[in-house]
Amino acid sequence: MSNMKDNPGFFKFFQSSKSSERLRIPLAFAAHVKGGIPDTAFLRSCNGELWQVEVTKDRNDLFFTNGWETFVEDNSVELGDFLVFDYIGNWVFDFKVLGRTGCNKDVVEEKDEEYKEGEGEGEEELEANALIKKREKGRGTNNLLDSGGYKGKAIANAEIEEDEDVFKSGIVSRPKNPYFVAKLRKKRQNELHVPADVIKDHKLKLPQTLILLDEEGRKWSAKVVGWKDGRIWLAGGGWRAFCKWNDVQWEDRCICEFMQGKGRQGLYLKMHILKAGSWFPKTDQSHG
């Protein structure tokens, strides 16, 4: 019969002053876990979203450190909350956040999605308008900006042209599998936009949760969210955590390649980062 030794776990009372930057792991828990102590652990929500945190030893104590602050912020953990960690194995934990009422605390994700659906569109509009004006100069007309159909296509075309710039640098080849090029957005830093055309053209069937795999073999989980207008986003903290751990900056670009996993792994995204400056198109300076 299963007992605590078979499935150890622990709970912690969240104290902002002590718990916001790192969380102490009870030594009694560590004593139940077989094998050595790894460098990282994964915290998994009921929706399957993952947060990666470092496991650090300080004298005789163990702590969740790097990545913990992001976990706290993403899950709206605050003073007075209880955190319950159920150990699954291989330093993966299923967690629950209990508020002061003792009930499960819902992450404000559903509410945010409704709010976010109309948020940040100005950034895409600016990119589209910049592309339109650039083309207007070549065509000698001022009527294009009033054309709704052309303007709508320009939003997607702005991203396509930027994709081309990445490959013009010559330092990276086009992936053989379906892909798109991503960047940080000033107004939507927590979410990754997935171009709908890529999904449609390659007839991809996205799972509810998509794994992001970086070049170090680290994994993050992101929730696939579809908007009414057809746009697709990856939400839930995975993209943000990926950017933080890989020090992704504003002018960096990420090539996101859809890969088919083996067995039951399913579809996932293989991420390749191009640092700022390395991907800029080479210009002919022979006349300068």
pLDDT in tens, 166-186: 887 677 889 999 999 999 887
For the chain, which domains are there? 9-98 (2.40.330.10), 116-274 (2.40.330.10)
The whole-angstrom separation of Cα 81 and Cα 86 is 16
* Residue 186 parent element (H or E): none
Name the token pair of 2.
């299963």
Per-residue model confidence as pLDDT tens digits over 113-132: 443 455 545 455 445 444 44
- Please classify residue 34 by burial: count the beta carbons closer than 10 Å to its beta carbon, then call 0-12 exposed, 13-18 middle and 19+ buried: exposed
Q: How far is 16 from 229, CA to CA, in rounded Å?
A: 40
The mean pLDDT value of the chain amounts to 76
How does residue 148 score in pLDDT terms, banded at 50, 70 and 90? very low
Lowest mean pLDDT among 44-48, 149-153, 245-249: 149-153
CA dihedral sign, ordered 112, 88, 219, 79: positive
Q: What percent of the chain has pLDDT over 70?
A: 72
Over residues 242-246, the mean pLDDT reads 88
- Whether residue 100 is predicted with pLDDT greater than 70 in this model: the reply is yes
Structure tokens belonging to residue 55:
């496991």
Between these two residues, 151 and 209, which has the higher pLDDT value?
209
Helix segments in the chain, DSSP class H: 16-19, 27-32, 68-74, 109-116, 121-139, 148-168, 196-201, 238-245
Least confident of 5-19, 88-102, 274-288: 274-288
* 85 pLDDT tier (thresholds 50, 70, 90): very high
Q: What pLDDT does 288 receive?
A: 42
Strand order in the sheet with 179-182: 179-182, 253-260, 267-274, 209-213, 219-226, 232-235, 192-194
Region 47-53 average pLDDT: 79
DSSP 106: P
Instruction: Give the pLDDT score at 283.
Output: 45
The predicted model scores a pTM of 0.51
pLDDT band at 200 (very low <50, low <70, confident <90, very high): very high
Q: What is the pLDDT confidence band of residue 280, given thresholds at 50, 70 and 90?
A: low
For residue 273, give the nearest of 230, 213, 224, 189 by alpha carbon. Answer: 213
Percent pLDDT > 90 in the chain is 26
Query: What band does 190 get if pLDDT is binned at 50, 70 and 90?
Result: confident
Residue 272 is given by DSSP the state: E
Sheet strands side by side (includes 50-58): 9-13, 82-89, 92-98, 40-44, 50-58, 61-64, 23-25
